Amino acid sequence: MKDFIFTIDVESFSFETNNYDDKVIHRLENDAMPKLLSLLHKFEIKATFFYTASYLKISKDSFFEVINQGHEIASHGWDHTECYDKMSLNEQVNFLKKSKDTVEELANKKIYSFRAPFLRINFDTIKALEITGFKIDSSVASKRFDFMFTTGALKKLALLSAPSGSYIPSRHNPYKNGNSDILEVPVSAYIWSLTGTHLRISEYPTKLLAMYLISQKKINPQVFLLHPNELLAFTKKKTFRRGNIFQDNIRHWIKMKDLGGEAITKLESFIEGIKNDVKFNSLYNYYKLQKSE
Ligand SMILES: [Zn+2]
């Protein structure tokens, strides 16, 4: 049976301002995270939660609840403004080390999985992960084709040639097979990617993609990326300008669709649709299964 991994990026992004906002953390903690955790509990799903260390400085409530419910805790870097693709090897090692130490100290156990903010990594990232003792990276979205919508687009062209299932990447190129100590577990994609955003803005194509990927016996596992802030109901306010008009307006408008209750309904219906065809797992449990084979 196919392995299906829900990965959740816990960060302080606000759809309301299209920017990072620590105020959103309390709403996530009191509203989105409890709803998400009860949905996962209902379907007996163990997921992987990537936290930024800066989020945990504001609140740790959901973090401890996530641990109590048996999910995997993982690192989403120190702060979501970091761009690992712009950093030297040493800079990456420093950020990874202090993020990992912070999360491990709080969790009182080791962590193994990493996802870069914005999925932005470079040819030194795998080596930096090895040096800092990570075992799993999930920062690649293979065969993804959304460069109109995201920043760092040209570099993402490399993603088109990356393998689709999990693989051992080269120490010098995260998008190619090699013999590093890291297991790369890409976010599933085939032009369209398996994300909460896509499920909200276009429910049926995303369900079709999931069914297609599940039917591909050789591609394992399937990885879904979800942001809990999508489960909060927002109203559009002033937009923070960050890039061009296309990114600022159209992208923001699209991203606002069906936030809150609608997003939870769609997520539940998505899980109902696949639950009999997949085995839900966390990244680390999947990694251990691969090692024991
Ligand atoms: Zn993120």
- Contact (CB, 8 A) for 6 and 280: yes
| Top-confidence residue, 42 or 293 | 42
Report which of residues 267 and 241 the model is more confident about: 267
Domain ranges of the chain: 2-292
Q: What is the mean predicted confidence (pLDDT) over 84-101?
A: 97
Answer whether residue 147 shows pLDDT above 50: no
> Which residues are in the CB-under-5-Å shell of ion ligand 1?
9, 11
Distance 117 CA to ligand 1 centre (A): 5
Retrieve residue 182's tokens: 């890291």
49 Cα: distance to centroid of ligand 1 (angstroms): 11
The 10s digit of each residue's pLDDT in 10-31 is 998 877 777 888 888 998 999 9
Rounded CA gap, 150 and 9, in Å?
Answer: 17
Per-residue tokens: 63: 């973090």
DSSP lists the bridge partners of residue 104 as none
Q: Tell me which residue of 200, 219, 226, 215 sits closest to 274, measured CA to CA.
A: 215
Residue 145: pLDDT band with limits 50, 70, 90: very low
* pLDDT score at 191: 65
d(CA 182, CA 188): 18
Torsion angle in degrees (nearest 10) through CA of 268, 272, 227, 105: 110
Residue 273 has pLDDT above 80, yes or no: yes
pTM (2 decimals)?
0.87
**How far, in Å, from the CA of 226 to the mean position of ligand 1?**
9
Q: What is the pLDDT of residue 288?
A: 96
Q: Ligand 1 centroid to 68 CA: how many Å?
A: 23
Of 78-82, 93-97, 149-153, 245-249, least confident by mean pLDDT is 149-153
Domain range 2-292, its CATH number among 3.20.20.150, 3.40.50.300, 1.20.120.1730, 3.20.20.370: 3.20.20.370
Q: What percent of the chain has pLDDT over 70?
A: 83
**C-beta separation of 45 from 246 below 8 A:** no
* pLDDT value of position 211: 87
Q: How far is the CA of 292 from the centre of ligand 1 (A)?
A: 30
Identify the pLDDT of residue 252: 64
pLDDT digits (tens, 9 = 90+) for 193-205: 788 888 888 888 8
